[in-house]
Amino acid sequence: MMRLLSGDAPRSRVLALLLALILLALAFAPFLFPGSRSLETAARICVVIVLVASYDLLLGYGGIVSFAHTMFFGMGAYGVAIAADRMGPGYDALALGALAGLIAAGIVALLVALLSLRVRAIFFAMITLAIASAVAVLVSQLSAYTGGEDGMNLRIPRELTPAFRMGEVFGLRITGKILNYYLVFTGCLALFLVMLRIVNSPFGRVMLAIRENAFRAEAIGYRVVVYRAVATCLSAMIAALAGSLFAIWLRYVGPSTTLGMELMMDILLIVVIGGMGTMYGAVVGTAIFVLAQNYLKELMGGLSEATSALPLIPDLLSPDRWLLWLGVLFILSVYFFPTGIVGRLRGTR
Amino acid sequence: MPQPSLVTHDLTVRFGGHVAVDAVSCAFTPGELTAIVGPNGAGKTTYFNLISGQIRATAGRVELLGQDITRLPVSARTEAGLGRAFQLTNLFPRLTVLENVRLVVQARARRGFNLWTMAQGHRDLIDQAEQVLERVRLTHLANQTVAALSHGDQRKLEVAAMIALKPRVFMFDEPTAGMSVEEAPVILDLIAGIKADAQATVLLVEHKMDVIRSLADRIIVLHNGALVADGPPAEVMASDVVQEAYLGKELTDV
Ligand SMILES: Nc1ncnc2c1ncn2[C@@H]1O[C@H](COP(=O)(O)OP(=O)(O)OP(=O)(O)O)[C@@H](O)[C@H]1O
Ligand SMILES: [Mg+2]
């Protein structure tokens, strides 16, 4: 068990419990929460956990602020979509597309890193913002390949679609959609464990050292630009793989689902809420955030009706205000848990 | 006479119109501890920065063990055998004392790009780090974060990091600055221990005369960025140029 976690114990009973709960809920999601909506939510949580964790690798461990993370996510997603579009619905197309996305993300990340890791952090952040915007524009312009603003639907192997049936387990009809879910779940779990391994390796320790004091890390013999470049590439490549899984799950890619600034903002918020530089923060933060995003509206709708007799309160609780409340939740969590939920649970200030 | 391990040739840096280090040529040999003295703002720290690479030279060269390192980045100079302790405490404040030293040992072992093993599994690195802590008597603080340490213990940890790095050339920039009279001798003993190794070249920036008298084999004097005196301690300290540079102010017994 500790080997699987690379020796990175949760170091807090509540955190261990939360993680176990989330893992079990995701592992048995099709059985515990039947219905396509909850399965969508579960799959989204899996993918976003990996996406956020890969961003944590960059921000929490490397101290690198980048706004181009969804761009790499998009590369993986579009890689699979374009390959499936050209080669037809086969596993070879999916694998090749994911590989192409992975390599493209690695190369672009390396270029971005070499171009700008020498400049001050604030300039690096702005450069990534510019590149991400440029790529988003490019994707919507190159509609012959990418489907432009409309995005593109993926044809994937029949075994991964709802049309495929293969009998019942525990009274649940196993469809291709459920197989697809388990592909996403297994892929994401593997990627998460890989990242846990990386952050607890000698390399991960160097990244922490660089975040703490880059000047000193360089002085004791670590070539900071190279370490940062490697971290940028790794983080981009893992994000690309998450993107590939997401595209296969949704059977659709479009600028808004994969490249959008909104998604980038979500990632930033989740990293901060969950706790930077902890990896587990990505798990807890994502679970809470995605659930809030998906169910806060309904909860508020219910509350609004229940309080309809009172003045003002139903208006405040109107489902249209859900973003406001999400914002309030965010501010409160940053105020009370400046080191994120995981930092708080581990008892660090 | 052994070969010099570190040589600077006409090393110069200009900040705008101000020449902070002015054509300093000097050679340092193994087994020798050289004290670098000079009034505040004389350019001692800047001279160090040029040697260890935090600042690029405007002109001149730096040679380490026969290799021209003038254009190398800081980390490459460290790999080539240079070790530097800073005037202002410079550590990883939120990491533990042990991890601060372990990172140095890991850098020296060049295992930083090891992505697929657990850092905890590299027992040999941890053992080495623990040995160094033992030597500087910080073992009891091994699992404390650096930020929780007293100033004196932090300075001690910096020396520990230097010992762990095992460079060919040690550079100490006022290692006892800000320390109490009781704490300072511990640091000086550690430096004396480093000096005992005939392979080690030691450069020490220091204001305190008693320290210089007890440790230095040689003194060089910087004044307005220029090297104005170089020789055995007794000789240099008696010279007019030193008295003038200090205006009789700082070079006094404490
Ligand atoms: N990066 C820099 N940019 C501009 N001027 C600098 C820079 N670094 C140092 N200087 C100037 O160079 C001169 C030498 O400074 P330096 O820190 O080397 O002195 P020092 O001999 O170490 O003094 P102290 O005994 O106070 O530590 C000073 O006038 C300082 O203001
Ligand atoms: Mg100085």
Residue B230 CA to residue B249 CA, distance in Å, equals 20
Measured CA to CA in angstroms, residue A310 lies from A111, A305, A313 at distances of 58, 10, 6
Instruction: Please tell me the distance from the alpha carbon of residue B133 to that of residue B88, in angstroms, as a whole number.
Output: 21
Ligand nearest to C-alpha B44: 1
- Residue A247 in any domain: the answer is yes
Q: Give phi and psi for A265, each to the nearest 5.
A: -65, -40
Residue A276 lies inside a defined structural domain of this protein? yes
Give the mean pLDDT of chain B: 92
The neighbouring-strand residues paired with B82 are: B169
From CA A210, how far away is CA A228, in angstroms rounded? 9
Comparing C-alpha atoms, which of A249, A200, A294, A295 is closest to residue A47?
A249
Name the residue among A263, A233, A257 with its Cα closest to residue A245.
Answer: A257
CATH number where A329 lies: 1.10.3470
pLDDT confidence tier of residue A337, bands split at 50, 70 and 90 = confident
A282-317 pLDDT per residue, tens = 999 999 999 988 888 788 888 878 888 887 777 777
pLDDT in tens, B129-169: 999 999 999 999 999 999 999 999 999 999 999 999 999 99
The answer, for A312 touching chain B at a CB cutoff of 8 Å, is no
In a domain, A310, yes or no: yes
Q: Would you call A198 an interface residue with chain B, using a CB distance cutoff of 8 Å? A: yes
Confidence of residue A252 (pLDDT cuts 50, 70, 90): very high
Band (A18; pLDDT cuts 50, 70, 90) = very high
Please report whether residue A253 resides in a domain: yes
A125 in any annotated domain: yes
Closest ligand to residue B38's CA: 1
Q: Judge whether A57 lies within some domain.
A: yes
Higher-confidence position of B60 and B177 = B60
Looking at the CA of B36, which ligand is closest? 1
Question: How far is Cα B124 from Cα B104, in angstroms, rounded to an integer?
Answer: 13
One-letter identity of residue A330: F
Alpha-carbon gap, residue A35 to A29, rounded angstroms = 10
> B78 and chain A: CB distance < 8 Å anywhere?
yes
Q: Which of B246, B201, B205 is nearest to B228 (CA)?
A: B246
Which amino acid residue places its CA nearest to atom 4 of ligand 1? Answer: B15
Residue B252 has pLDDT above 50, yes or no: no
pLDDT given for residue A348 in this prediction: 58
Distance B232 CA to ligand 1 centre (A): 26
**Mean pLDDT of all residues belonging to chain A:** 90
Q: Which residues of A324-338 are buried (b: 16+ CB within 10 A; e: fewer)?
A: ebbeebbeebeeebe
A178 has a pLDDT exceeding 70: yes
Handedness of CA A163, A164, A166, A170 (dihedral sign): negative
Residue B254 has pLDDT above 50, yes or no: no
- A199: domain range? 13-347
Q: Is the Cβ–Cβ distance between B203 and B169 less than 8 Å?
A: yes
User: Which residues of chain B have a CB within 8 Å of the CB of A212?
Assistant: 92-95
| Contacting residues of A for B108, CB less than 8 Å apart | 221
pLDDT band at B253 (very low <50, low <70, confident <90, very high): very low
Q: Which residue of B has its CA nearest to A209?
A: B92
A233 vs A162 pLDDT, higher one? A233
CA–CA separation, B159 vs B141, rounded Å?
15
Q: Is residue A2 part of a domain?
A: no
Strands B33-37 and A252-253: unpaired
Q: Which of B94-98, B101-105, B181-185 has the lowest mean pLDDT?
A: B181-185
Q: Where are the alpha helices (DSSP H) in B120-208?
A: 123-135, 151-165, 184-195
Of B52, B54, B119, the CB nearest to A200: B119
Q: Is A214 on the interface with B (CB under 8 A)?
A: no
Q: Which residues contact B222 (CB under 8 A, 6 or more apart)?
A: B21, B24, B36, B37, B38, B42, B43, B44, B47, B228
B167 Cβ below 6 A of ligand 1: no
Domains and CATH numbers, chain B: 6-95+165-247 (3.40.50.300)
The rounded percent of chain B whose pLDDT value lies above 90 is 80
When scoring A195, A216, A220 by the number of chain B Cβ atoms within 10 A, the one with the most, hence best to mutate, is A220
The residue with greater pLDDT, B245 or B125, is B125
pLDDT exceeds cutoff 60 at A349:
no
- Concatenating the DSSP letter of every residue in A265-289 gives HHHHHHHHHH-TT-SHHHHHHHHHH
| Contact criterion met (CB below 8 Å) for B38 and B241 | no
> Which of A105-114, A120-129, A235-244, A334-343 reaches the highest mean pLDDT?
A235-244
Question: Which atom of ligand 1 sits closest to the CA of residue B16?
Answer: 4
How many domains, in total, are found in chain A? 1
The secondary structure of chain A in percent helix, strand, coil, rounded to multiples of 5, reads: 75, 5, 20
Are B115 and A222 inside 8 Å of each other by CB?
A: no
Higher pLDDT, A322 or B140: B140
Q: B14, B15, B84: which to mutate for ligand 1, most atoms within 8 A of CB?
A: B15
CA-closest residue to ligand 1 atom 11: B20
What are the chain A neighbours of B148 within 8 Å (beta carbons)? none
Q: Is A239 within the bounds of a domain?
A: yes
- Interval A198-213 mean pLDDT: 95
